[in-house]
Structure 1
Amino acid sequence: MILSAIFILFSLNTILALITVFRQPRDIAATWAWMLVLIFVPILGFLIYAFAGRKLPKKRLFRYQEQNVSAVRQLINEQLDRQDPIDIVDDQTSVQKARTLITLFNTMEGVFLAEHNDFQLFTDGNRMFDQMMADLKRAQDTIHIEFYTFANDQLGRQIRDILVERARAGVKVHVIYDSFGSFPTLASFFKPLREAGGHAEPFLRTHSFIFDFRLNFRDHRKMVIVDGEVGYIGGFNIGDQYVGRDPKFGYWRDTHLRLTGTAVYQLQAYFILDWNATDLKHQISYDGQAQRYFPLVQKHGDTSMQVVTSGPDSDDHLIKMGYIRLIQLAQKTCWIQTPYLIPDDSMFDAIKIAAAAGIDVRIMVPCKPDHAFVYRATQYYARQLADAGVKIYYYENGFIHAKTMVVDGKIASVGSANLDFRSFKLNFEANAFIYDRQLAHELFVQYQKDIEQSSLQKPSDFDKESRWLNFKQHFSRLLAPIL
């Protein structure tokens, strides 16, 4: 009798699992991962699915997709045509080496090659936020901020108060934050900004953390645009943790870029589209305001780049495609930093092929976890890639959160996208793909400095791990498509 009841309950649970998983289309790896959770973790599995498995409602995706992308691109093209001739010659060696990558982004999403940019590279949060706050204080017309995490702590309040002061001075301030990534920051945290005339909204207006308890489809971008002239993109979030004030992580090692030049046009365009999809009541209108949002560039550098975004609103997974193409372009070296190493099959194969072809492939990950399952899965793939000839480094001077890739010291990528399923398919991300030897060299040199504070993990080191740790790694790997 008891066995019959258990069989009936198991059968019902399996039927419900099948209905739940196949109700919405998803890739086969994620399908099997969710089947595993729902069938073998009854009841609790469905609660986990409600939190992490539900897809973004179509009406929200449609709201995002229906933005007039072509109108913004037309506006940018008009401003580019109005630029004065520039005598500075870009790094044509790096540009030519990456020509097929540049064409890929342009063909797939119409991303133009932004030329004549200046940059500052930041790897320390205190220095980066000092410069960012100085730029915010100098804002005269517009401030646009978009972060996965905007914490209600010392740094978060410091930046919010600057925004309040600038809004009172007449600057148009718009802030997008992710309701999950910024939890427990509440909407009331931004009340002083709203009272000063500014705007702050959770991405796609997910106001309620309780009723919108969805782990996936988050806004993971980290961008700032000041007066349409200065832009920031990279891996830092806004919070004390990111300036080394959290004893759990210690020193926080990340990578961010400060940009001036035509690449800021791309950051501005992405922000406007994100904002107009998020807040239907307070749209940013750019009709007749090209000079305001896309001012003519006054200062010119010699760095070329493309700012690329990806997200669940598109099946192209453009940043992942860019990563793979970058790896394919490598002739000598391909050095990668990522806090989460959970590649899908295509990325895993691209890395293995490069290593087998004699490319010096190195991947640096943290020596400590911030998410248990994710870190065990990272260790699993680190071991597999070490066996394939990839040099795996564990960063030991705190926590490394940088998302960078440097190829042959000539081309590189810096942004918010990790080497994992979540960044490739589930989150809204933004990366700068850079075709400049100077910036690539600076990233290369910084990587060498990071190696001095890291330990090389050889295959023999992984062999010394306990059976229990190996079990946790293999089990976490089964859940990789949904981590």
Structure 2
Amino acid sequence: MKKENRDLFEKGKQGALQLLFSRFGIILILLFIQVWLLFGLLDYVANNYIHLYYAGNMVFTLTGYIILFNSPSDNSVKMTWMIVFTVLPVVGILLYLYTRLEFGHRMERRRLVAIIQKSRSLIGMEDKTKKQLQEHKDLQGLVRFVNQTNAFPVYQQSDVTYFSSGEEKFAALLEELSKAKSFIFMEYFIVGRGEMWSQILEILIEKAREGVEVRFMYDGFCEFSLLPRSYSADLKKLGIKCRVFSPIQPLVSTVYNFRDHRKICVVDGQVAFTGGVNLADEYINKVERFGHWKDTAVRIKGDAVESFTLMFLQMWALDGDTSDFEHWLNVPKEKTFTADAQKGWVLPYADSPLDSERVGEMIYFDLLNKAQESVQIMTPYLILDGEMETALTFAAKRGVTIDLILPHIPDKKYAFALAKSHYRTLIEAGVNIYEYTPGFVHAKVFVVDERKATVGTVNLDYRSFYHHFECGVYLEDVPAIAEITEDFKKTISLSQKITLWDIRNEKTMTKIMGWLLKIFAPLM
């Protein structure tokens, strides 16, 4: 064996051993053992009680179909589970019932409902805004819908700044963090150690030393590959109050399917950030993973910031109490922006998988259904349920120009293949699909008729619609929409339009992968 190959083999062997004996490897082994024991039990019953086994299969399958057809799930989800029931009658139905019963979520849901009810009256709409909203019938319904699940008002006294890249957002974030005098609340899906996080952490440590209340929350999946298990404790030693959302444990549970995908930063109750940008170097192009990383974010100043403060406090309180909500919400707003910047409507929103409402998807539906001339969309993933595919194709068929920008260099090959499985239907309906040739699009942006928009964390996929905690901000007639539209035009000029010829000449393996994975897309 050549020395180069031998060194490569040794490195691979060492990496495999590190993975095997890491926390990630141990959890995978323990999860595998639990699944293996279940299959072993079923195999024992099948071999020793074959008649009972087949009779049970029939009863289980019929029962499963009855439960499935009477569930409120999307038809795409029902079709996927029907296939699972047919291939694995007992195991599939037990798995379905297990996910529907949601062991571990019930207590969390009750706690969240209690938190929302207790905090519902802490923020509200100004009388002047209420009066003007009465004359805006088109927006009234959307505000009413958002407030059915939480208490996030619509605002007028707010300034919106749009950032067309992670680099722009990062620079503004550092500036605002350095000004903090009272509190900093941060909640992010991904935190990766590197230049971006180091600069932020340095400010957070300094602010904590100055007596600023610093609270930081990140999703538990970071502990698999990005952060050590002890990282939250390490931050606490530095004076930063830290919580990990749903850390992964070596126990089979549906709890892990629900992740905190939100990106929120609130400074002193005066400034809030949201959008697609996480806290890792690829988001500001300090490292290149999938070509150039295209992302977006917004900064909110003014009255609408209180909704993002409340969002953060509600999530933080899932592991604590709500006794300090009023203290952090009763902050006089500094009106440091011009009257022109206050034009239009700003509606922050949050989405939770613990209730029955798909807020993020419904806001997308509202935008698509009310569009008159144009819809411009940037999204990293296109894994659509039947309802969303119908909404997109119907809007195009009734004459609305729909431009959809997706990555050309994917971060996940399976997601790329699934996205392409929708291309033909959308293009034949008249949707224009573009791939961002310099690299990867991570932005989550809708612009409608160049006067309505939403920027946030909600992808066009099942995970965002059904399984993630998400957030965003709906904008109408605010000056920043012109900047969003201009950025879309620049991005589309760097993108390749996909034609039916491109689809026909797509790699065979990509087509096959897309067709097969589409069956199980709702479970991914």
What TM-score do you get using the length of structure 1 for normalisation?
0.85
Shift of 1:350: 1.1
Q: Is 1:77 aligned to residue 117 of structure 2? A: no
Query: Which entry has the higher C-alpha Rg, 1 or 2?
Result: 2
Partner of 2:113: 65
Of 202, 224, 231, the residue aligned with 2:244 is 202
Q: Provide the rounded CA distance (Å) in 2 between the counterparts of 1:128 and 1:418.
A: 19
Q: CA deviation at 1:75?
A: 2.4
Deviation, 1:351, is: 0.9
Task: Give me the whole-angstrom Cα distance separating, in 1, the residues matched to 2:98 and 2:193.
Answer: 24
Instruction: Output the amino acid matched with 1:285.
Output: D
Question: What is the rounded CA distance, in whole Å, between the counterparts of 2:363 and 2:408 in structure 1?
Answer: 27
- Aligned residue type for 2:121: Q
Q: Distance in 1 between matches of 2:447 and 2:413?
A: 28
Q: How far apart in 2 are the matches of 1:442 and 1:14? A: 58
Residue 371 (str. 1) matches residue 412 (str. 2)? yes
Residue of structure 1 in register with 2:201 after alignment = 160
Q: 1:382 Cα deviation (Å)? A: 2.3
Contact 1:95/1:436 (<8 A) preserved:
no
Question: CA–CA distance in 2 between the matches of 1:37 and 1:246?
Answer: 40
Cα deviations by residue, 1:218-241 (Å, 9 ceiling, x for unpaired)? 111100000111100111111112
Structure 1 window deviating more from structure 2 (32-41 vs 422-431): it is: 32-41
1:361 aligns with 2:369: no
Corresponding residue number in structure 1 for 2:235: 193
- Residue 61 of structure 1: how far off its partner (Å): 2.0
Q: Superposition pairs for residues 343-358 of structure 1, below 5 Å?
A: 343-358=384-399
Residue in 1 aligned with 2:301?
Answer: 260
Higher-RCO chain (CA-CA 8 Å, sequence separation at least 6): 1
> Using the alignment, how far apart are the partners of 1:15 and 1:368 within structure 2?
46
Q: Give percent identity, aligned residues only.
A: 27
Q: Distance in 1 between matches of 2:414 and 2:57?
A: 24
In structure 2, give the amino acid aligned to 1:327: L
Provide structure 1 residue ranges, at least 5 long, that are not aligned to the other structure. none
Cα separation, 1, equivalents of 2:251 and 2:164: 37
Asked if the contact 2:269/2:333 (under 8 Å) is kept, the reply is no
Q: Which amino acid aligns with 1:295?
A: P
* Cα distance, 1:370 vs structure 2: 1.6
Q: How many angstroms does 1:33 deviate by? A: 2.3
Equivalent position SS for 1:183: helix
Residues 417 and 423, structure 1, Cα contact 8 Å, conserved in 2: yes
3-state SS of the aligned residue for 2:217? strand
TM alignment of 1:234-249, pairs within 5 A = 234-249=275-290
Classify the secondary structure of the residue corresponding to 1:114.
coil
Which consecutive residues of structure 2, in runs of 5 or more, have no partner in the other structure?
A: 1-45
Contact map agreement 1:243 1:251 (CA 8 A) in 2:
no
Aligned partner of residue 378 in structure 1, secondary structure: helix
**Which residue of the partner structure matches residue 285 of structure 1?**
324
1:387 aligns with 2:428: yes
* 1:403-428 CA-partner distances (Å, limit 9, x unpaired): 00000100000000011111111111
Task: Give yes or no for contact 1:396–1:453 (8 Å, CA) kept in 2.
Answer: yes
Q: Secondary structure at the match of 1:115?
A: coil
Q: Tell me how many residue pairs correspond in the alignment.
A: 464
User: In structure 2, do the counterparts of structure 1 residues 477 and 290 end up closer, same or farther at CA, with 3 Å as the change threshold?
Assistant: closer
Task: Name the one with the larger helix percent.
Answer: 2
Tell whether the 8 Å contact from 2:221 to 2:247 is kept in structure 1 after alignment.
no
Of 479, 490, 493, the match for 1:438: 479
On the 8 A contact 1:13/1:42 being kept in 2, the answer is: no
1:173 equivalent to 2:221? Answer: no
SS in 1 for 2:399: coil
Write the distance in 2 (CA, Å) between the matches of 1:158 and 1:14: 58
